[in-house]
Amino acid sequence: MKKYFIRFCLLALVFSLVAGVADAQTTTPPKKKTTRKVGATAKNKKKTTVKSQVASAAVAPQDTAKPAPVIPVADVKLDTIRRSLRNDAIIERNLVKDRTPLPYLHIREDDAVYRQRVWEEIDVHQKMNLPFVYKAVEDNGSQMFINILLQAIKSGQITAFDANVDDRFTTPMTYSQISGLLVPKPESISIPDPVKDPDGSKGITKDTTIVHDWDPTIV
């Protein structure tokens, strides 16, 4: 009797284990199907994002404003220095080029009796200052004093200072700032359009920019 009871218990234990394994297999979903579902969801999200981007691009407003005209900066256009390829003189004129100016001597403070600052304005209308408006052109460019001065400022050989700030040489001026003082600034104006409105009856105009040139001979 004991043998039959033990066999019955063992069979019941085996059946319970088999039923638990079968139940676990039926309740656990396969991994492949889960991966496919996640992939499909990602694709749907991607499509939704693309659609939203296309919709936002289609609704974006367009800028229909007329662009402002570009006004160039005032500039003093200096002539390009063209050196002669032949010697017009009988001798080589290298005397001035070979000269080296003497350096200033050191002055002790005890030796200085007084000091004085001199400001001088060169008026080329005066007869004694006519050499400053000499119009000849040599190998080093135009011999007008203003052209020589501007060439030296543009190349950085000398430094110009703003005398309107103070008289102690504290505010250097650039070549573009000097050009703005010598040449009027370009201006944009509206003029009649001869192409779209030949007879001027429609009142159609177009924007144009007037650029002023600097003439050193006009003083």
Confidence of residue 35 (pLDDT cuts 50, 70, 90): very low
What is the average per-residue pLDDT within 158-170?
A: 91
Does the structure show a pLDDT above 60 at 203? yes
What is the average per-residue pLDDT within 25-42?
A: 49
Does the structure show a pLDDT above 50 at 106? yes
Q: What is the pLDDT of residue 149?
A: 93
What is the average pLDDT score of the chain?
A: 75
Does the structure show a pLDDT above 70 at 92? yes
Predicted structure pTM score: 0.56
Q: What is the pLDDT of residue 162?
A: 93
Confidence of residue 151 (pLDDT cuts 50, 70, 90): very high
What is the average per-residue pLDDT within 106-126?
A: 88
Q: Which of 42-46, 106-110, 205-209 has the lowest mean pLDDT?
A: 42-46
What is the average per-residue pLDDT within 192-219?
A: 82
Which has more confidence, 71 or 125? 125
Q: What is the pLDDT of residue 132?
A: 92
DSSP string, the chain: -HHHHHHHHHHHHHHHHHHHHHHHHHHSPPHHHHHHHHHHHHHHHHHHHHHHHHHHHHHSPP--PPPPPPPPPP---PPPP---SS--SSS---HHHH--PPPPPP--GGG------------TTSGGGGGGG---EETTEE--HHHHHHHHHHHTSS-EE-TTT-SSS-SEE-HHHHHHHHSPPPEEEEEE-TTT-SSSSS--EEEEEE-PPP-TT--
Q: What is the pLDDT of residue 64?
A: 61
Q: What is the pLDDT of residue 38?
A: 46
Which has more confidence, 207 or 2? 207
